[in-house]
Amino acid sequence: MKSLKLTLVLFILIISANQNFALPRYALRMGAQCIDCHVDPSGGAMRNRGGWHYGLRVLPLVSPRERDKDLPMDDMIGKNIQFGLDYRSQYIYSQQLGKTTFQKMQGSMYVNVKVMDSIDIYSNYDFVNADWTGFVIAHILPNSSYVKAGSFVPDYGVLLDDHTAYTRGGDLGYLFTTNTRQGLIFDPRYNVTGVEVGYNISDFGLFTASVGAPVSLNFQSDPAYTASIHFSPVIANKVALMFGGSFTNFSGPLIYTQVPSEHKVNMYGGFLGFGVDNFTLIGEYDIAQDYILTGTKSSAQMLEASYVLFKGLEAVLRYDRFDPNINVTNDDVSRLVAGFSFYPFSSIEIIPEYRFQFAHQQPNQPPLPKQDSALLQFHFYY
């Protein structure tokens, strides 16, 4: 039974790591916003025409415009239908299990149909995880602001591409030694069906507010309310900032207990980042009130630094920490993630990564097992 639980933990870690979300450090480095590269103004998933060109022609070490200049490449079907894809697989090692395995992680196909200059119909289906999201987005409000309706990921915090970060979904409800959740609710399975309104503040800010029924955590009655504000001003040549805050309120069963009764959970936090030439630093801090038990507060933190060593190769270092109860000492978990993001050719990303896991040894408890892990991930996109 113990072996089965450990295998399940490894499987969940595998399918959740590095899903198809945007890379905020790219936007920060370019002095851009999410909408500059993605169909969804709050970021993630399908790239728009600008993001498609950036990913295929600017990001990699070798791009088609440097080789194969006569090779026709396009992501359009006709004049108003755009398609895209993300496929990920990886080879992973678990120190606790003492084993390695190969795993398919993601097989997403995107389609966006522009029915008018201001209205798009978007669909995303992941064949590996049998997960679908889709919405209609209408840029009909002042300053190209929008209304979005359908199934989507709420706009909260920094949308990292790695959902095992504790400010996102963490290890999806399992801790290696205690089988308890570490991390917030924003894992790859979390999306809502509802409505979102986004208002562009000049050309450097975005305010979003959404209401919708969560479809992944089996909430039973009240919808989830989420609001976020982002600012991304460019201070000087090759110097940009990113800062803002988020709030969400939802109803659901207590995370760490079998009590079926519902209660209200409030989550709120802030984020801050800056980019100088090839270097970026992004941090986020969140508080979750009544997330584990009523009357308690949990905290989640993330700090990520990245540096472009040369065109196509980037070093990334991230620190994560999750404290289930900020009033209790030595119950927090943390980890240090060190790796590289390598784009040798267009549509190909290779990610070698090592994760150092840290937890406190509790008195009168068996010694904690070693929990480090390593992975080599392959990402193919278009």
Two tokens at 57? 């022609």
How far from each other are the two terminal CA atoms of the chain, in whole angstroms?
41
187 and 170 Cβ atoms separated by less than 8 Å: yes
Beta strands in the chain (DSSP E): 76-77, 81-94, 99-116, 119-126, 131-141, 145-152, 192-201, 205-214, 224-231, 234-236, 239-253, 262-276, 279-289, 297-310, 313-323, 333-342, 348-359, 373-381
pLDDT at 9: 41
- Name the one residue in this structure whose structure tokens are 């150092």: 356
pLDDT band at 32 (very low <50, low <70, confident <90, very high): confident
pLDDT band at 255 (very low <50, low <70, confident <90, very high): low
H or E stretch at 52: helix 49-53
Q: What is the pLDDT of residues 189-222, one digit of tens each?
A: 788 899 999 999 988 899 999 999 887 544 455 7
Mean pLDDT for 311-316 is: 95
pLDDT at 216: 53
Mean pLDDT for 301-323 is: 96
- Which residue from 251, 103, 256 is spatially nearest to 173, judged by alpha carbons? 256
pLDDT at 166: 93
Two tokens at 320? 């994560």
Rounded alpha-carbon distances, angstroms, from residue 36 to 51, 92, 138, 370: 7, 33, 16, 42
Q: What is the pLDDT of residues 78-119, one digit of tens each?
A: 889 999 999 999 999 988 888 999 988 889 999 999 999 999
To the nearest whole percent, how much of the chain has pLDDT over 90?
A: 49
Higher pLDDT, 13 or 170: 170
d(CA 379, CA 87): 6
Q: What's at 221, amino acid-wise?
A: S
Higher pLDDT, 303 or 172: 303
For domain 2-73+88-105+158-187+218-381, which CATH number applies: 3.90.1570, 3.30.70, 2.60.40, 2.40.160? 2.40.160
Q: What is the pLDDT of residues 153-196, one digit of tens each?
A: 999 999 888 888 999 988 764 434 445 668 888 877 788 899 99
pLDDT band at 14 (very low <50, low <70, confident <90, very high): very low
pLDDT at 349: 95
pLDDT band at 65 (very low <50, low <70, confident <90, very high): low
372 and 357 Cβ atoms separated by less than 8 Å: yes
3-class secondary-structure state, position 18: coil
Annotate 181-243 with DSSP letters as a single string.
Answer: --S-S-STT--EEEEEEEEEETTTEEEEEEEEEESSS---SSPEEEEEEEE--EEETTEEEEE
Q: What is the largest CA-CA distance in the chain?
A: 69
352 and 17 Cβ atoms separated by less than 8 Å: no
pTM: 0.86
Higher pLDDT, 260 or 65: 65
pLDDT at 220: 53
